[in-house]
Amino acid sequence: MNSLSGKFQPTVGGAGAAHKIRASRLPRRFTQSYSRFVAMMKFLLPVAALVLIAMVVLWPHIGADDLRFRIGFAAIKASVSKEPSMVNPRFVGTDSENKPYSITADLARSLGDLSDKDVPTNIELEMPKADITLEDGSWLVLTARTGLLANQDKALNLEGAVNLFHDSGYEFRTEKAAINLATGVASGNLPIEGQGPFGVLKAEGFKLIEKGKTIYFSGKSKLVLHPGAGKTDK
C-alpha cells in the first residue's frame, strides 16, 4: 500500500501544479486585455469628445450657409425690380364726400419720386382690389390683375381681367378701367359684359358715375332682359 501511495503522490502533485499554472495565466491575459481596452478608451474618448465639440461649433455655420443661400436667391429675384416693394399692402383714403375707400394688393412697387409726405406718387400693384363705400352704405368692389395708383390724383388704373361688382347684384367684366377715387367715376373704352337683376348686357365701353348709381354704356350694345325685370310688387 505504501508503494502504491508513493506512486500516486507525484501524479496528483503534477496535476495540481498544471492546474495552478493554467489558472494563473487567465487573470494575466484578462489583465492585459483590460489594459489594452483602457488604453484604447483613453485615446478614443478624447477624440470623440473633440468631434462632438467640433460638430456643436460648426453645425450653426453649416445651417447658416444654407439660409444665406436661400436669402441671397430671394434677394436676387427681388432685385430684378430696383424700386422698393411691399407685400400685401393696404392703402386707405376718403373721397370728395369723406366716404372711405381702401385698396389692397398682393404686391406693391413704388414708381418715381416721393411726395412731400414721403409717400410714393405712383404705385404699381399686382392683383389689386378696391373697396368703395357708397352714400347709402352699400359698396362697390373692383379687382384686376394689375393696377397703377396715382396717390396725388387719387386715380386708379386697372388692367387685365377687370371685374366690377356692386352689392346690389350687378357684375361687369372688361380688360381696362380708369377710376377716379375722389369723384367715384369709372370708365373704360374696351368691350364690357355683365349681368344683374335686369338681365345680361354687352357693350363696347362704359362710364360709371355717382359711384355706380348710374352706368352709361357706349358703342354697339346688346341687352337681354330677364322676364319681369324692373317690375315691383304693389
Question: Which pLDDT does position 144 carry in this prediction?
Answer: 98
Query: 200 and 105 share a domain?
Result: yes
Higher-pLDDT residue of 1, 138: 138
- With 90 as the cut, is the pLDDT of residue 77 above it? no
Query: 126 and 208 share a domain?
Result: yes
Tell me the pTM.
Answer: 0.60
189 lies in a domain? yes
- With 60 as the cut, is the pLDDT of residue 60 above it? no
pLDDT tens digits for 79-98?
445 567 889 999 888 888 88
CA dihedral angle for residue 173, residue 175, residue 181, residue 186, rounded to 10 degrees: -70
Query: 90 and 188 share a domain?
Result: yes
232 lies in a domain? no
234 lies in a domain? no
- Out of 80, 100, 115, a domain closes at 80
233 lies in a domain? no
Query: 111 and 209 share a domain?
Result: yes
pLDDT tens digits for 166-178?
888 899 999 999 9
135 lies in a domain? yes
- With 80 as the cut, is the pLDDT of residue 224 above it? yes
* 137 SS3 class: coil
Query: 102 and 70 share a domain?
Result: no
Query: 50 and 115 share a domain?
Result: no
- Out of 61, 80, 99, a domain closes at 80
Residues contacting 61, CB < 8 A, separation 6+:
none
Domain enclosing residue 119, as ranges: 85-225
Q: For the residues 201-210, what does the mean pLDDT come to? A: 93
Query: 128 and 71 share a domain?
Result: no
Query: 13 and 40 share a domain?
Result: yes
Cβ atoms within 10 A of the Cβ of 162, count?
25
Query: 102 and 193 share a domain?
Result: yes
154 lies in a domain? yes
Higher-pLDDT residue of 115, 158: 158
Q: For the residues 105-130, what does the mean pLDDT come to? A: 81
CATH number of the domain bearing residue 156: 2.60.450.10
Query: 24 and 106 share a domain?
Result: no
Query: 165 and 93 share a domain?
Result: yes
Determine the Cα–Cα distance for residues 207 and 180; give it in Å rounded to an integer: 11
Determine the Cα–Cα distance for residues 61 and 107; give it in Å rounded to an integer: 33
230 lies in a domain? no
Query: 110 and 187 share a domain?
Result: yes
146 lies in a domain? yes
pLDDT tens digits for 16-46?
544 554 545 555 555 667 677 777 777 777 7
If one counts the domains in the chain, the total is 2
- Out of 80, 98, 114, a domain closes at 80
